[in-house]
């Protein structure tokens, strides 16, 4: 078994945290990862406290195991954080400088606090703010990229500087990469892209097909999907084909999101990734993907992905231990 400081702290069985992934990583995917022994996480950014509770109850409906709620700092509301902390084992933050008051609210509600960081400075500040664990995000990541360093460089710097467990994020999608970051001192890995083609995904089927067809090299760093994006201007890891398709368009609208609150128009170069409730030119939307997209080769249940990663990493780490002994 791959037990680490992260699995012991959170009470999960394997050192994998699912990335919160906006509307494409919903409660079903989070529940499936938690059921498989990892930490399933869903994004609750921008929701009211009541909607946060309802979203987290959906996870609870599918699993009794620990799960997490993810917030984006530009959209954070303290009462929503309090609601999440009453329900989730972990409340996770991204895209802002670590804030001790938010961490205090999480602890007061009885949950653990985690912060995804893009630099050593942010990592040190996250520990100082009271976070229970930290995620070091490298530029290989899918979605919005906070820092300037590759994952191994930032991981090494962070592990040397802080005492709390550190997870690695960005471009990790296979057992070798998971074993690699664990051997380098990570207490686990946060993965997003690898789970986008899981059976339980809320990513649009055309997006899933594009991910399966893509190679690692097809994940590019771009700044283009910045329209109506609260995290922009920023760099993001996205499929090259999406940038090219949006560039080639002559219309300023690419589709519609049939949201429970009403129909929303999706602008060209809009920041929302295409989910199953969106219709239109899916290939020209923000199909975020990390370099780990090279590991997305078919649709699989999330539980199978977790087992494949963990069993593979375990074997590799045993083999490495034996060869250096």
Name the site residues for ligand FMN (rule: CB under 6 A).
19-22, 24, 43, 70, 72, 94, 116, 137, 141-143, 169-172, 190-194, 273, 288, 290, 292
Nearer to ligand FMN, 17 or 82 (CB): 17
Give every CB contact of residue 203 below 8 A, 6+ residues apart in sequence. 24, 196, 197, 211, 273, 274, 275, 276
Q: What minimum distance in Å lies between the beta carbon of 143 and ligand FMN?
A: 3
For 33-82, what is the HEC assignment?
HHHCCCEEEEECCCCCHHHHHHHHHHHHHHCCCCEEEEEEHHHCCHHHHH
**Quick one: tokens of 240?**
């090259």
Nearer to ligand FMN, 4 or 137 (CB): 137
Interatomic CA distance for residues 8 and 163, integer angstroms: 15
Q: What minimum distance in Å lies between the beta carbon of 155 and ligand FMN?
A: 13
Q: What minimum distance in Å lies between the beta carbon of 252 and ligand FMN?
A: 23
Q: What minimum distance in Å lies between the beta carbon of 47 and ligand FMN?
A: 12
Q: What minimum distance in Å lies between the beta carbon of 323 and ligand FMN?
A: 28
Q: CB–CB of 158/136 below 8 Å? A: yes
Interatomic CA distance for residues 144 and 19, integer angstroms: 12
Cα-based distances in Å from 320 to 24, 306, 324: 36, 21, 6
Q: What minimum distance in Å lies between the beta carbon of 217 and ligand FMN?
A: 14
Which residue has its beta carbon closest to ligand FMN? 290
Half-sphere exposure of residue 207: CA atoms within 13 angstroms, side-chain side: 30
Nearer to ligand FMN, 83 or 95 (CB): 95
Give every CB contact of residue 321 below 8 A, 6+ residues apart in sequence. none
Question: For the packed helices 302-324 and 27-35, what is the interaxial angle rounded to 10 degrees?
Answer: 40
**Quick one: tokens of 309?**
């990663």
**Quick one: tokens of 18?**
């699912």
Q: What minimum distance in Å lies between the beta carbon of 316 and ligand FMN?
A: 19
Q: What minimum distance in Å lies between the beta carbon of 24 and ligand FMN?
A: 5
Nearer to ligand FMN, 162 or 181 (CB): 181
Q: What is the largest CA-CA distance in the chain?
A: 62
Nearer to ligand FMN, 12 or 167 (CB): 167
Residue 259 DSSP SS3 = strand
Q: What minimum distance in Å lies between the beta carbon of 256 and ligand FMN?
A: 19
Nearer to ligand FMN, 242 or 318 (CB): 242
Nearer to ligand FMN, 37 or 192 (CB): 192
DSSP state of 172: -
Nearer to ligand FMN, 176 or 318 (CB): 176
Nearer to ligand FMN, 150 or 251 (CB): 150
Residue 241 DSSP SS3 = helix
């Amino acid at each position: 078994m791959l037990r680490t400081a992260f699995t012991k702290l959170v009470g999960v069985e394997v050192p994998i945290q699912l990335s919160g992934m906006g509307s494409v990583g919903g409660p079903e995917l989070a529940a499936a990862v938690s059921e498989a022994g990892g930490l399933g996480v869903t994004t609750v950014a921008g929701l009211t406290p009541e909607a946060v509770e309802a979203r987290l109850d959906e996870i609870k409906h599918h699993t009794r195991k620990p799960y997490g709620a993810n917030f984006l700092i530009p959209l954070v509301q303290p009462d929503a954080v309090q609601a999440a902390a009453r329900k989730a084992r972990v409340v996770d933050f991204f895209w802002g400088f670590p804030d001790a008051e938010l961490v205090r609210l999480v602890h007061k509600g009885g949950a653990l606090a985690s912060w995804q960081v893009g630099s050593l400075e942010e990592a040190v500040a996250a520990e100082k703010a009271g976070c229970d664990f930290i995620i070091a995000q490298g530029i290989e990541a899918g979605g919005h990229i906070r820092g300037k360093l590759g994952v191994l460089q930032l991981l090494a710097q962070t592990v040397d500087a802080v005492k709390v467990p550190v997870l690695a994020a960005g471009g990790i999608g296979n057992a070798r990469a998971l074993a690699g970051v664990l051997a380098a001192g990570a207490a686990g890995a946060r993965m997003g892209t690898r789970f986008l083609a899981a059976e339980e995904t809320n990513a649009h089927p055309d997006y899933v097909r594009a991910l399966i067809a893509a190679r690692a090299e097809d994940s590019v760093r771009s700044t283009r999907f910045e329209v109506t994006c609260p995290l922009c201007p920023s760099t993001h890891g996205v499929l090259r084909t999406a940038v090219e398709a949006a560039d080639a368009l002559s219309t300023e609208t690419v589709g519609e999101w049939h949201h429970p609150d009403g129909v929303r128009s999706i602008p060209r170069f809009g920041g929302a990734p295409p989910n199953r409730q969106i219709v239109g030119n899916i290939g020209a939307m923000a199909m975020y993907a990390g370099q780990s997209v090279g590991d997305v080769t078919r649709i699989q249940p999330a539980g199978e992905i977790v087992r494949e990663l963990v069993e593979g990493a375990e074997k590799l780490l045993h083999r490495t231990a034996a060869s250096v002994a």
